[in-house]
Structures are given as structure tokens and as C-alpha cells.
Chain A
Amino acid sequence: MNIYLREMKAHRTGLIWWCIGMVGLVASGMAKYDAYQAAGVSVQEMMAGMPKAVLTVFGMTGFDLTKASGFYGVLFLYIGLMAAIHAALLGSHLVSKEERDRTSEFLYAKPVSRNHALTSKLLAGLTMLVIFNLATLLSSFYFVNLFGQGESVGADIRILMMGLFLMQLIFFTIGTAVAGVIRKPKAAPSIAMSIMFTAFLVSYLVNMSENLQFLKYLSPFKYYDAAVLMADGRLDPVYVALSVGIVALAVLGTYRFYSARDLSV
């Protein structure tokens, strides 16, 4: 419990700023929708003027942009990216920070096993992911409803946030696994970020070409594609199973490598 509380306290300010950022992102995104509506600009017409390829690459097809929910679907791409960055950084940072700050020689000379410390850190991380997700969820409900002109969006947002949470878990545990394996604590966050951005680019490639569809399994961003989720109204069980598998493997790897290796002090 002591390590858990310590981590919550150490990350408190950072988490607050991330939440403010997410609320701001949702608010400004939906305010833009409102501005388009008020000005009488048909977003649909504006989009029709853009090359199809561009729209596809940016994942903007499949949405009815005259509706608040459709507009929110496009916004979700950026929400997902922010959440992934936060999760990957948080995971890698939680595990590598003791070595980076050279406090590992203090902490692990205490009567605590590495597994125990890891469990506390993972639970602290999980708590912070939930808080991040709730901040996004609540602000989404509020602002989409505010500008939505009576459109019912609850179901869409709920399903998207479930997808978002699984995506957060994937990148969080990839972050912890990288930091668990790597002995250079300063490199861990950047490696975790590189993995995350590669996955993001892969999702672009998949959008770009029909021939690259098989790559979609490599990018968690494609598992929880807003257009598909909103059309289906449910999560694809294959992708959920795949997500659970990745998370389980990453958590296992984190424990295995971190408790077996020499700490860098």
C-alpha cells in the first residue's frame, strides 16, 4: 500500500494536467462542430470537396459529419492517440523511474520484493488509467450532449470509451514490459513511445490500402476504430480476445524480466 500511495502522490499533478488536457480536447473539438453548425457550413459538403484518399487516410470516412456523434467519431482518433501516449509513458515511467532517479538502491534494499513493488505500481497505474478514462468519458457526455441538439449519443460514447480503456491497457502494459526488460531506464519511455507511434502509423497504412488489411491485427488503433464501433454498437470479440492476450503477455513479461534481472544502480 505504501508504494501505491507514493506513486499516486508522485503522479498526481501530471495526471491532473492530462485530464484537463482531455477535457479541453473534447470541449474544443465539439465547440468547432457547434461553430460549423451555427455558421451554416455543411461539413459534409466541405468534406466532399476533399480528395477521398485524404479522408480515408485520416480515418474520416464512415461518419455522418452533420451529426454531433459523427463529428465526435472523428475526434475520437485524437482522443485515442492522446490516451495511448499517456498510457505508454505512464507504464514505462512507473517501472523505470526508480532506476532512472537512482532510488532503486534505496527501495530494493527495503524488505520488499520486486514482484510486490511491481504489483503496487501496476495497480497505481491502473487507477490512473481509470481516472483518465472517466475524465474523458464525463467530458464527452457533457460536451457532445451540449452541442448535440438532442441527439442521443450515450450508447456511442459508452462503447468508444470501453474500446479506449482496452487500448489504454495495451499501451500501458507494453510500456511496463519495455521498462521491465530494458536495463537502460532512460531509454524505456522513448522505446515504448516508438512502439506506440509505429502502431499508429500502421493504422494509417491499413486505411490507405486494401492490400494491407492484414496489418490491422498489428495496430491496436484499428481494433477500436470509431466508425466500426459506432456502426456495430459492440466490440469485436476477436479484437477483445487479442487485446486481453497482449495485455496478459505484457504483464507476464514485465514480472518475469523485472524480477530476474540486475537492477542498474
Chain B
Amino acid sequence: MNVIETTKLTKYYGKSRGIIDVDMTVAEGEIYGFIGPNGAGKSTTIRTLLGLIHPTSGSATIFGKDVTASGPEIRQEVGYLPSEVFYYDDMRVIDLLRYSASFYRKDRTAIEARIKSLAELFDLDLKKKIDDLSYGNKKKVGIIQGLAHEPKLIILDEPTGGLDPLIQQQFFHLLKEENAKGATILFSSHILSEVQKLCDRVAIIKDGSIIKVEQIKTLLENSTKRFKLELVETPVASAFAVDGVSDLAITNHSVSFLYRGRVNEITKMLAEQDLVDFLVEEPDLEEIFMHYYKKEDEQ
């Protein structure tokens, strides 16, 4: 069964583009990545799914029900963490979380117990005023209000901003636990490595349209890395004519290029070079789009 299904979902803000003809299916029990640069339409899609904004055309269903017609009913089983969190400044953390819990039909004592255990896990003081929290701690409040009622669908819109690496790890661990218990997760991000760690499948969105849906395995096999080399002597361009190399730039003794393919092939080539230093890094999404997906579009 599909938990989320959108058909030609389109949203315009006046004349400016939000998303165009988005077809997306998220299966039950899946962790579905939703990746694209800022402004590509990730938040627009998510906000439409939540009924915060209404589609211009096309439709979307969650649990088989239309998001516009059955919004409140659907949201009984949805937990949502937005990219930026804002809560009522005059409330204490526990008041906010109880207020949040009061909207759900689930057993109140069970939710309360879960709030306590999650607060302990994330080391969050429930008695503090929202106004006095740091941004990272507000984000923790966001995680708890999104997960306390044990929703069947968890929607996360760039959730990791403001979380330190340790908390991020605990958060990912928690998400995997929820997923193991049966929750479906839609995880939006502009950071590829984040999505790689967590997701089964990933949709890539660009300029309001989904340009590719791939298994994370395929994406990893095709993973592109940026290489930066420092050499003893000025390199010759022909030495780098290996399959999978693109965006080659040589300045004095340094070389920079993108490589996509088997790691063994490139290390063989590297072994022949007289290296002073080298660096391999994750290219940012823009680069992947520029050198991978753009080319595929042209083909």
C-alpha cells in the first residue's frame, strides 16, 4: 500500500512556481528521501500534503484519503517537524507538548510517558520556558511534538539544522527505531550524505519537478566525489583522461575534478601521480546536478 501518493500535484504562488506535476509514491514502511537544492519545491510539496497550502491543480492522498478533504483525519496519524521551528514563547516546554498532545485521540497517559522518555533521551528540560531555549533545544521540542503520538507517517522537512552531531545521531537512531516499528518516513534534505545514511529510496527535485527517483543503492554506486590533488610537478591533462572524470580544472600544481565510478579505477590512476597532498570530498548537490543530472537530461 502507498502511504503518500501525488498525481500531477502543482502549486503556483500567484505567477511564481512552487511545484509542477509532481508524481510521488511513498510505500508503507519506507524511508523516502526527498532531496533538492533550496527553493526546488520540497517545502511546498510538504506543506501541500499537510494542507497548510492548497494545490493549484492535481491531487494528493495520504493513507488513501484526499489531503484537502480529509486533512484533520489524516493528520491524526502524521507527525511533522518543519525546518524552522516556532512555538508559543510564553509557554513552558511541557505546556507546549501537552497542548500538542491534546489534539490527538490517542491515550493521553501513553503520550505523556513518551514525552518524558524522549525528553530524557535528548536531555531537554521540560520546565523551561520556550522563550529561554536555544535554537537547538527548540528543535528538540519539535522532534518530541512530532513523535510523541507515535504517528504512522513522519514528515521531516530539513530537520537536522541546528542539531549538533551527537543529537543528530540519536535522532537518526530514533527514526530508524520508529521505522522498524512500522512508521513510514518522508525525509526532505539538501544534504546528500544525510539522505544516504537513512533512506531506502530518494526523489530528486529540481526547479519544482521531480527529475529522478532512485534506490539509494544505485545512487551510492553512482556516487560522485570531488577530488582535489596537489602535485610535485605541473600535471598533464591527458593523465586524467579516465572514464568518469568530469569538470577537470588544472591550475599550476593543483588539479580538481569530479569522479563517478568504481573507486579502484581512480586509485590506480592516482598511484601513478607524484602527489604532495590530496582531498576527496562529497560534492554538494548543485555540483551533482550540474555534472550528472544535467548531462543525463541532455542525452
Residues of A at the B interface (CB closer than 8 Å) are 2, 6, 10, 101-106, 108-113, 116, 260-263, 265
CA distance A199 to B13 in the complex (A): 34
Interface contact A109-B80, CB-CB below 8 Å: yes
Residue B73 CB within 8 A of the other chain: yes
Among A10, A105, A109, the most chain B Cβ lie within 10 Å of the Cβ of: A109
From residue A248, how far is it (CB to closest CB) to chain B in Å? 26
Kindly list chain A residues whose C-beta atoms are within 8 Å of the C-beta of B88: 6, 10, 101, 103
Kindly list chain B residues whose C-beta atoms are within 8 Å of the C-beta of A108: 50-52
Residue B224 CB within 8 A of the other chain: no
Interface contact A109-B72, CB-CB below 8 Å: no
Which of B25-33, B99-107, B183-191, B271-279 participates in binding chain A? B99-107
CA distance A106 to B88 in the complex (A): 10
**Which chain B residue lies CB-closest to A116?**
B72
Interface contact A103-B54, CB-CB below 8 Å: no
Residue B144 CB within 8 A of the other chain: no
Given contacts A2-B102, A2-B103, contact A113 B71 (CB under 8 A): yes
CB-contacts of B45-88 with A (<8 A)? 47, 50-54, 71-76, 78, 80, 82, 84-88
**Which chain B residue lies CB-closest to A263?**
B52
Out of A105, A110, A262, which one reaches B75, CB within 8 Å? Answer: A110
CA distance A227 to B158 in the complex (A): 62
From residue A243, how far is it (CB to closest CB) to chain B in Å? 33
CA distance A75 to B15 in the complex (A): 52
Q: List 16 A-B contacts (CB under 8 A).
A: A10-B90, A101-B88, A103-B86, A105-B82, A106-B85, A108-B52, A109-B75, A109-B80, A110-B100, A111-B72, A111-B105, A112-B72, A261-B54, A262-B52, A262-B54, A263-B53
CA distance A110 to B71 in the complex (A): 9
Interface contact A262-B86, CB-CB below 8 Å: no
Residue B145 CB within 8 A of the other chain: yes
Kindly list chain B residues whose C-beta atoms are within 8 Å of the C-beta of A262: 13, 52-54
**Which chain B residue lies CB-closest to A115?**
B72
Given known contacts A2-B103, A108-B52, what 14 new A-B pairs fall within 8 Å (CB)?
Answer: A2-B102, A101-B88, A101-B89, A103-B87, A106-B85, A106-B87, A109-B50, A109-B78, A109-B80, A111-B78, A113-B71, A116-B72, A263-B53, A265-B47
Kindly list chain B residues whose C-beta atoms are within 8 Å of the C-beta of A103: 86-88
Residues of B at the A interface (CB closer than 8 Å) are 13, 47, 50-54, 71-76, 78, 80, 82, 84-90, 99-100, 102-105, 145
Interface contact B52-A2, CB-CB below 8 Å: no
From residue A121, how far is it (CB to closest CB) to chain B in Å? 14
**Which chain A residue lies CB-closest to B81?**
A109
CA distance A240 to B42 in the complex (A): 51
Secondary structure at the B interface, as helix, strand, loop or mixed, is loop
Given contacts A102-B86, A103-B86, contact A6 B99 (CB under 8 A): yes
CA distance A103 to B52 in the complex (A): 12
Interface contact A2-B99, CB-CB below 8 Å: yes
CA distance A261 to B51 in the complex (A): 10
Given contacts A101-B86, A113-B71, A263-B52, contact A106 B145 (CB under 8 A): yes
Interface contact A111-B73, CB-CB below 8 Å: yes
From residue B274, how far is it (CB to closest CB) to chain A in Å? 55
From residue B3, how far is it (CB to closest CB) to chain A in Å? 16
Interface contact A105-B54, CB-CB below 8 Å: no
From residue B101, how far is it (CB to closest CB) to chain A in Å? 9
Kindly list chain B residues whose C-beta atoms are within 8 Å of the C-beta of A10: 88, 90
From residue A84, how far is it (CB to closest CB) to chain B in Å? 27
Kindly list chain A residues whose C-beta atoms are within 8 Å of the C-beta of B104: 110-111
Out of B52, B99, B102, which one reaches A105, CB within 8 Å? Answer: B52
Given contacts A101-B88, A105-B86, A112-B103, contact A265 B52 (CB under 8 A): yes
Kindly list chain A residues whose C-beta atoms are within 8 Å of the C-beta of B145: 106
Among A2, A108, A110, A261, the most chain B Cβ lie within 10 Å of the Cβ of: A110
Kindly list chain A residues whose C-beta atoms are within 8 Å of the C-beta of B102: 2
Kindly list chain A residues whose C-beta atoms are within 8 Å of the C-beta of B84: 102
**Which chain A residue lies CB-closest to B74?**
A111
Kindly list chain A residues whose C-beta atoms are within 8 Å of the C-beta of B53: 262-263
**Which chain B residue lies CB-closest to A101?**
B86
From residue B130, how far is it (CB to closest CB) to chain A in Å? 10
Kindly list chain A residues whose C-beta atoms are within 8 Å of the C-beta of B13: 262
Given contacts A109-B78, A113-B71, contact A104 B52 (CB under 8 A): yes
Kindly list chain B residues whose C-beta atoms are within 8 Å of the C-beta of A112: 72, 75, 103
What are the 3 tightest A-B residue pairs by CB atom distance, in nearest-first order? A102-B86, A262-B53, A110-B103
CA distance A240 to B71 in the complex (A): 39
From residue B69, how far is it (CB to closest CB) to chain A in Å? 11
Interface contact A106-B50, CB-CB below 8 Å: no
Interface contact B86-A109, CB-CB below 8 Å: no
Kindly list chain A residues whose C-beta atoms are within 8 Å of the C-beta of B87: 103, 106
CA distance A260 to B71 in the complex (A): 13
CA distance A101 to B72 in the complex (A): 22
Kindly list chain B residues whose C-beta atoms are within 8 Å of the C-beta of A109: 50, 52, 75, 78, 80, 82
